[in-house]
Amino acid sequence: MKAQAGPPEIARVCERIESLGYKAHIIPGEQRTAIGITGNSGPLDAADFEDLPGVAEAIRVSKPYKLVSRETKRENTTVRVLDVPVGGDEIVLCGGPCSVEGREQILEAARAVRAAGGQLLRGGAYKPRTSPYSFQGLGEQGLRYLAEAREETGLGIVTEAVDVETFDLVEAYADCVQIGARNMQNFSLLRRAGRSRKPVLLKRGMSSTLEEFLMAAEYILAEGNYNVILCERGVRTFADHTRNTLDLSVVPAVQNLSHLPIIVDPSHGTGKRDKIAPMSLAAIAAGASGLIVEVHPMPERALSDGAQSLDPKQFGELAEDCRALAELLTMRRRLAKLPVTV
Ligand code: PEP
Ligand code: MN
């Protein structure tokens, strides 16, 4: 739509789309609103829409993912988690333990994240574990502790929903619902997340291609939830010096193809504490909109993923380095704009 198009023009376009038997998706942007059309089995005639008032252009989306595509919406999407914009100019830091293990543990982690200048708190109350005998999470009690940590620190909560059965409960407490790597192609869960009013953090499956990743996000948008944050968390390769191979090139690749923000998880992406800081800085340099890092008050005692968790001091140092790097990158962007004087 044209920048000056208002609700009546938008409504008129939606009516036209629906009268033809298709589904209209209003995707708001800072400058302009995009209206996506799905439900058509073949190409549509642009002329059916271009004559309506307020329409700037009708674009045929060539990619199999429609609503997540940059062809549908050119400008970047900013997703608000509580009141934190993800995908804007500022880099967002989300920290917290792999699992919520108890009241004190999550409160301490939250205070550490807050003290370091982080904006969001992570922590799983429902855990997707490789072994059924491993700690599975505290369930609703864990969600209550997260809510208490939010109450005290003001940090927005990112927590995982592992199945459709527990989605309602997780959604009620979370500020952002995480869909984990193992569930990236759990289509009923993706559809449920698409019907949620909460933003969704979608992690890349451990062997998924870029197209499969974007198609998974498409499931969520297709149901009407346009607040999706993508997360690169490493893919499985032959390399065995790390748990996964962090595929940072997917950051600019996603940004080319999609308007959705992408953040990076250097904890799962490497599995090794000493690799978290360098890969975090690399992720920011690559253009990621933020980081999600495992932080535990006592990593050596963690019930899950201790080896890839930072302690509060390390997270504080990382946050400082991230800040310094972000400023440097901003400076470089400014330098490029200096007029040439000969
Ligand atoms: C997690 O964030 O703790 C987690 C299980 O991540 P992933 O789904 O990326 O393995
Ligand atoms: Mn973990």
Phi, psi of 26 (to 5 degrees): -85, 115
What pLDDT shows up at residue 333? 52
Alpha-carbon span 308 to 257, nearest angstrom: 31
* Structure confidence by residue, pLDDT tens digits, 5-43: 999 999 999 999 999 999 999 998 888 899 999 999 999
Measured in angstroms, how far is the CA atom of residue 305 from the centroid of ligand 2? 5
Contact 202, 220 (CB under 8 A): yes
Q: Which atom of ligand 1 is nearest to the CA of 127?
A: 5
| Listed residue (100, 102, 233, 108) closest to 174, CA to CA | 100
Give residue ranges with CB within 6 A of ligand 1.
98, 124, 128, 180-182, 203, 233, 268
Average of per-residue pLDDT across 59-70: 93
Atom of ligand 1 nearest to the CA of 181: 8
Q: Name the strand (E) or helix (H) holding 157.
A: strand 156-160
Measured from the Cβ of residue 312, the count of other Cβ atoms closer than 10 Å reads 20
Q: Whose CA is nearest to atom 9 of ligand 1?
A: 181
Give residue-wise pLDDT tens across range 289-324: 999 999 999 999 999 999 999 999 999 999 999 999
Domain boundaries, the chain: 7-50, 79-331
- pLDDT tens for residues 319-337? 999 999 998 887 765 554 4
280 closest CA partner among 308, 312, 313, 307: 308
pLDDT at 28: 86
- 160 CA distance to ligand 2 centroid (A)? 10
Per-residue confidence (pLDDT) for residue 29, from 0 to 100: 85
Q: What is the pLDDT of residue 329?
A: 87
Q: Give me the CATH topology for the region 79-331.
A: TIM Barrel (3.20.20)
For 202-225, how does the pLDDT look when each residue is reduced to its tens digit (9 = 90+)?
999 999 999 999 999 999 999 999
What are the structure tokens assigned to 34, written together? Answer: 């995009």
pLDDT for residue 106: 98
* Most ligand 1 atoms within 8 A of CB, residue of 160, 183, 202, 303 to mutate: 160
Sign of the Cα torsion 36, 39, 45, 51 reads: negative
pLDDT at 338 over 80: no
Kindly list the distances between the CA atom of residue 169 and the CA atoms of 222, 252, 264, in Å, as whole numbers in the listed order. Answer: 23, 35, 26
Dump the DSSP string for 112-130.
HHHHHT--EEE-BSS---S
- pLDDT at 339 > cutoff 60: no
Taking the centre of ligand 2 as the mean of its atom positions, its distance from the CA of residue 241, in whole angstroms, is 18
User: Residue 264 phi/psi, 5° resolution?
Assistant: -125, 140
Instruction: State the pLDDT at residue 236.
Output: 98
